[in-house]
């Protein structure tokens, strides 16, 4: 099912499709998430957010369209209950918050952020209930909001994503169109030609480096790619630079010049086992982004691999699979940390099933190579691709492109006769979005927010094609607020040596250029800061940790060690797959997430195998440990986890 622009801007495009308290499949079902309007003076930015969460660090913008400084936030939509019931709303925030349900004020008070604010109990009717939340941040410090609900059957927990919907208004539709236009401007590297004085990190996204490319790519493939890249890869940001009667000749000339750029050691022929490569291909779930080369059906929206023999120079595919970002930092292809043997096997499988190109050699015509060199200098190639060669191409900076010029050039509905502007495969909807962005405050390109980065790049990197679809990979909507951003950044970059789910054949690949912003954005999406706050150990941490050790044991405890390894001690009674080793939990998990998880794991993930230990009132079933006090019991386990690899085995 194609994703709407609204759900894309929500940051979690598939939340309402996965599990819903409402009939999400109905044709007239309202879209998921809440409409959020951020305002600063006369400037309003409307988007869709997945929940009543927000975190804006002091001195940073609330969104790319809002300048740093004072702002207000307003969430609007519907909250759905399966049955008529009474609920109490709670919130952790700084500043002031007013939450209204069905015109009844459920919570209104100033917040310091030090302790949750509890509202009054309100009645939710079966079905949709009108919701409005209005927030004003404090004059200084971070601005954040995290809203929760509870009742007799529901523990203190965030409102389920699937319970929140919104009404689409013309104002929201227009704002989302502007958001989409900005996304397209960023994704297609428009600022590489139409420069911005200073901007967000993504405006520096590169393209494959030209240095040594003649040793990595085949000439004929380069010529075909340059002439018409969209026919070879759907959705590529690479435009059709040359057009008209001379396009084929110009493309061949550029390919001849690029083929002359040799570098690196000569590659040797691929040596590998194709059968083992196919098995590895399946374990790594490469079909999330690619069409398997031996698949009977090929999805045109995925990246095909039938052309690897035509594209890669002999012996260069395996080295690329080991270091995909070596010549292209912002490449979407992740690093799986393949061994030389794995890369060789994978390359052998791909090459064995690829189309066999006709034998050919790059032309050695010096005049053609010189012609290609001139074209590379004069056609804008060096605006995106790096090479130690003088760039003689210049386009108007973004500030020099008034709104009424966005019907011509790259975004013309139909190319003008004789126009030399590069041609992109924009749809009519995409051109309209770009024009809407052009008419907006383009200063949004100078303001970076990690939440906006996650919304865009998690889609671009196909995160949801594994998370929530591949067994053992947590659903993407479970990730915000779960992992400490410092640990998540290392893990996403591929720099965390420990694998949480060691029993999985699949592995988390590395995205080095994207890791830091993805990690901080996932934290801020849940209303948590981009850097984990200090968590000083309490004075009685030793006593609590000792109690936590007993709680984790099978003798009078929760028997955590039956499923979970603890430091060097393996789980004792695993029948299918072990739980994650608890020695890594303190460094990995956000404390608020851990407390919710241990208190009521099924309220976080309904499919979990983790047992529910606490009763509806939150009381522990272990009266001999801390008197059965639920919060103290959870704190004791946390202090036990704080010991990390120094954790002692429970009795």
| Phi, psi (degrees; rounded to nearest 5) at 101 | -120, 120
pLDDT at 384: 96
pTM value is: 0.92
Please give the structure tokens belonging to residue 39: 């305002």
Please give the structure tokens belonging to residue 307: 């052309």
Superfamily of domain 541-646: Cytochrome c-like domain (1.10.760.10)
* Interior/surface letters 531-550, b for 16+ CB within 10 angstroms, e for the rest: ebeeeeeeeebeebbebbbb
Beta carbons of 401 and 389 less than 8 angstroms apart? no
Could you give the dihedral angle defined by the CA atoms of residues 331, 336, 337 and 341, in that order, rounded to the nearest 10 degrees?
-110
pLDDT at 87: 96
Distance CA 516, CA 601 (A): 28
Residues in the chain predicted with pLDDT less than 50, given as ranges, are 1-27
Indicate if the alpha-carbon torsion angle 509, 515, 518, 522 is positive or negative.
Answer: positive
pLDDT at 25: 38
Indicate if the alpha-carbon torsion angle 365, 369, 372, 378 is positive or negative.
Answer: negative
Beta bridge partners of 124: 85
State in words which class domain 5-168 has.
mainly beta
pLDDT at 359: 84
Domain ranges of the chain: 5-168, 450-525, 541-646
| Nearest alpha-carbon partner for 34 in 14, 64, 17, 9 | 9
Beta carbons of 501 and 534 less than 8 angstroms apart? no
């Amino acid at each position: 099912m194609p994703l709407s622009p609204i759900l894309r801007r929500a940051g979690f495009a598939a939340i309402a499709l996965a599990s819903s308290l409402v009939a999400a499949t109905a044709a007239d079902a309202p879209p998921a998430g809440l409409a959020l309007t951020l305002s600063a003076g006369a400037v309003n930015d409307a988007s869709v957010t997945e929940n009543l969460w927000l975190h804006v660090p002091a001195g940073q913008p609330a969104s790319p369209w809002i300048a740093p400084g004072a702002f207000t936030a307003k969430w609007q939509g519907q909250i759905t209950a399966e049955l008529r019931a009474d609920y109490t709303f709670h919130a952790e925030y700084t500043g002031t918050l007013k939450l209204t349900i069905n015109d009844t004020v459920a919570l209104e008070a100033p917040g310091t952020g030090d302790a949750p604010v509890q509202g009054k109990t309100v009645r939710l009717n079966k079905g949709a209930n009108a919701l409005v939340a209005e927030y004003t941040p404090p004059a200084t410090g971070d601005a954040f909001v995290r809203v929760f609900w509870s009742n007799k059957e529901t523990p203190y927990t965030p409102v389920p994503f699937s319970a929140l919907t919104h009404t689409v208004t013309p104002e929201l539709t227009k704002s989302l169109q502007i958001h989409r236009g900005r996304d397209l401007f960023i994704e297609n590297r428009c600022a590489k030609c139409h420069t911005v004085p200073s901007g967000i990190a993504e405006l520096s996204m590169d393209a494959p480096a030209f240095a040594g490319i003649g040793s990595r790519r085949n000439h004929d493939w380069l010529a075909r790619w340059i002439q018409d890249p969209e026919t070879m890869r759907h959705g590529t940001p690479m435009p059709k630079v040359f057009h008209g009667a001379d396009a084929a000749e110009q493309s061949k000339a550029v390919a001849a010049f690029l083929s002359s750029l040799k570098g690196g050691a000569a590659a040797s022929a691929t040596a590998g086992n194709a059968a083992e490569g196919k098995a590895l291909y399946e374990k790594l779930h490469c079909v999330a982004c690619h069409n398997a080369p031996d698949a009977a059906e090929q999805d045109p929206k995925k990246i095909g691999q039938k052309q690897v023999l035509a594209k890669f120079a002999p012996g260069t595919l395996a080295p690329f699979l080991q270091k995909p970002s070596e010549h292209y930092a912002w490449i979407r292809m992740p690093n799986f940390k393949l061994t030389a043997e794995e890369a060789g096997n994978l390359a052998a499988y791909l090459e064995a099933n690829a189309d066999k190109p006709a034998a050919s050699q790059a032309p050695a015509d010096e005049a053609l190579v010189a012609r290609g060199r001139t074209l590379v200098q004069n056609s804008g190639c060096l605006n995106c691709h790096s090479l130690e060669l003088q760039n003689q191409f210049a386009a108007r900076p973004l500030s020099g492109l008034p709104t009424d010029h966005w019907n011509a050039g790259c975004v013309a509905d139909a190319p003008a006769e004789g126009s030399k502007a590069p041609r992109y495969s924009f749809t009519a909807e995409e051109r309209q979005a770009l024009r809407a962005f052009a008419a907006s405050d383009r200063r949004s390109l100078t303001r970076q927010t990690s939440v906006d980065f996650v919304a865009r790049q998690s889609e671009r990197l196909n995160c949801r094609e594994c998370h929530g679809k591949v067994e053992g990979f947590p659903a993407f909507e479970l990730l915000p607020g779960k992992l400490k951003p410092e640990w998540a950044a290392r893990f996403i970059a591929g720099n965390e040596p420990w694998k949480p789910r060691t029993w999985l054949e699949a592995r988390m690949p590395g995205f080095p250029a994207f890791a830091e912003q993805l990690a901080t954005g996932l934290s801020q999406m849940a209303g948590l800061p981009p850097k984990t706050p200090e968590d000083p150990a309490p004075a009685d941490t030793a006593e609590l940790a000792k109690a936590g050790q007993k709680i984790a044991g099978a003798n009078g405890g929760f028997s955590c060690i039956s499923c979970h390894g603890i430091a060097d001690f393996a789980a004792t009674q695993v029948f299918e797959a072990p739980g994650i080793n608890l020695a890594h939990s303190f460094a990995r998990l956000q404390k608020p997430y851990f407390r919710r998880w241990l208190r009521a794991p099924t309220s976080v993930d309904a499919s979990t195998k983790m047992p529910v230990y606490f009763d509806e009132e939150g009381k522990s079933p272990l009266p001999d440990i801390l008197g059965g006090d639920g919060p103290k019991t959870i704190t004791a386990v946390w202090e036990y986890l704080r010991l990390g690899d120094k954790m002692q085995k429970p009795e």
